[in-house]
Amino acid sequence: MSIGYACLTVGVQHTDQKSCMLKNASQEKLLELIDYNLNSLENIINYNIKNNIRLFRISSGLIPFGSSPVNSLAWWDIFASKLLKIGEKIQNSGMRVSMHPG
Protein backbone atom coordinates (compact mmCIF):
# COMPACT_ATOMS: atom_id res chain seq x y z
CA MET A 1 0.00 0.00 0.00
CA SER A 2 1.22 3.50 -0.83
CA ILE A 3 0.58 6.19 1.70
CA GLY A 4 0.85 9.77 0.57
CA TYR A 5 -0.66 13.18 1.07
CA ALA A 6 -2.25 16.06 -0.75
CA CYS A 7 -0.74 19.39 -1.68
CA LEU A 8 0.80 20.81 1.50
CA THR A 9 4.15 19.77 2.93
CA VAL A 10 3.76 21.29 6.38
CA GLY A 11 6.96 22.12 8.21
CA VAL A 12 9.26 21.67 5.21
CA GLN A 13 10.99 24.84 4.06
CA HIS A 14 10.62 26.17 0.52
CA THR A 15 7.57 24.07 -0.33
CA ASP A 16 4.77 26.63 -0.06
CA GLN A 17 2.81 27.82 -3.05
CA LYS A 18 1.76 31.34 -3.91
CA SER A 19 -1.21 32.78 -5.74
CA CYS A 20 -2.71 36.20 -6.34
CA MET A 21 -6.06 37.87 -6.71
CA LEU A 22 -7.44 38.39 -10.18
CA LYS A 23 -6.94 42.16 -10.01
CA ASN A 24 -3.18 41.62 -9.42
CA ALA A 25 -2.69 38.96 -12.10
CA SER A 26 -0.34 40.73 -14.49
CA GLN A 27 1.70 38.59 -16.88
CA GLU A 28 4.88 39.55 -15.00
CA LYS A 29 3.33 38.55 -11.66
CA LEU A 30 2.07 35.26 -13.09
CA LEU A 31 5.54 34.42 -14.45
CA GLU A 32 7.01 35.06 -11.01
CA LEU A 33 4.36 32.95 -9.26
CA ILE A 34 4.61 30.01 -11.66
CA ASP A 35 8.39 29.96 -11.34
CA TYR A 36 8.14 30.09 -7.54
CA ASN A 37 5.49 27.35 -7.44
CA LEU A 38 7.45 25.04 -9.75
CA ASN A 39 10.54 25.48 -7.57
CA SER A 40 8.41 24.61 -4.55
CA LEU A 41 7.00 21.57 -6.34
CA GLU A 42 10.50 20.35 -7.14
CA ASN A 43 11.44 20.76 -3.47
CA ILE A 44 8.35 18.75 -2.48
CA ILE A 45 9.21 15.99 -4.95
CA ASN A 46 12.79 15.88 -3.62
CA TYR A 47 11.44 15.67 -0.05
CA ASN A 48 9.05 12.88 -1.02
CA ILE A 49 11.81 10.89 -2.72
CA LYS A 50 14.14 11.31 0.26
CA ASN A 51 11.38 10.17 2.65
CA ASN A 52 10.12 7.31 0.46
CA ILE A 53 6.71 8.92 -0.04
CA ARG A 54 5.23 7.32 -3.13
CA LEU A 55 1.90 9.10 -3.54
CA PHE A 56 1.28 12.83 -3.85
CA ARG A 57 -1.51 15.06 -5.09
CA ILE A 58 -0.21 18.22 -6.74
CA SER A 59 -2.07 21.40 -5.88
CA SER A 60 -4.43 22.66 -8.56
CA GLY A 61 -3.07 26.13 -7.78
CA LEU A 62 0.34 25.24 -9.20
CA ILE A 63 -0.24 27.44 -12.26
CA PRO A 64 -2.27 30.47 -11.14
CA PHE A 65 -5.10 31.13 -13.60
CA GLY A 66 -3.58 28.40 -15.78
CA SER A 67 -6.67 27.91 -17.93
CA SER A 68 -8.07 31.43 -17.64
CA PRO A 69 -7.90 34.10 -20.35
CA VAL A 70 -6.28 36.28 -17.67
CA ASN A 71 -3.17 34.14 -18.05
CA SER A 72 -2.21 34.57 -21.69
CA LEU A 73 1.29 33.19 -21.12
CA ALA A 74 2.35 30.07 -23.00
CA TRP A 75 3.50 28.80 -19.61
CA TRP A 76 3.78 25.21 -20.84
CA ASP A 77 6.45 26.38 -23.31
CA ILE A 78 8.13 28.91 -21.03
CA PHE A 79 8.56 26.35 -18.25
CA ALA A 80 8.92 23.24 -20.42
CA SER A 81 12.43 22.36 -19.23
CA LYS A 82 11.52 22.80 -15.57
CA LEU A 83 8.34 20.74 -15.99
CA LEU A 84 10.30 18.02 -17.80
CA LYS A 85 12.92 17.92 -15.04
CA ILE A 86 10.25 17.54 -12.35
CA GLY A 87 8.42 14.93 -14.41
CA GLU A 88 11.58 12.89 -14.86
CA LYS A 89 12.23 12.92 -11.10
CA ILE A 90 8.69 11.69 -10.50
CA GLN A 91 8.96 8.92 -13.12
CA ASN A 92 12.42 7.79 -12.03
CA SER A 93 11.32 7.54 -8.39
CA GLY A 94 8.19 5.51 -9.15
CA MET A 95 6.05 8.07 -7.35
CA ARG A 96 2.39 8.32 -8.29
CA VAL A 97 1.01 11.82 -8.60
CA SER A 98 -2.43 13.18 -9.28
CA MET A 99 -4.06 16.55 -9.66
CA HIS A 100 -7.64 17.73 -9.80
CA PRO A 101 -9.22 21.00 -10.84
CA GLY A 102 -9.60 23.63 -8.14
| pLDDT tens, residue order, the chain (102 aa) | 778 999 888 889 999 999 999 999 999 999 999 999 999 999 999 999 999 999 999 999 999 999 999 999 999 999 999 999 999 999 999 999 999 876
The DSSP element (H or E) to which 58 belongs, if any, is strand 55-58
CB 98 within 8 A of CB 57: yes
Q: Considering the entire predicted model, what is its pTM?
A: 0.93
* Angle between the N-to-C axes of helices 27-50 and 80-93, in degrees from 0 to 180, rounded to the nearest 10: 20
User: Distance between CA atoms of 22 and 20, rounded to whole angstroms?
Assistant: 6
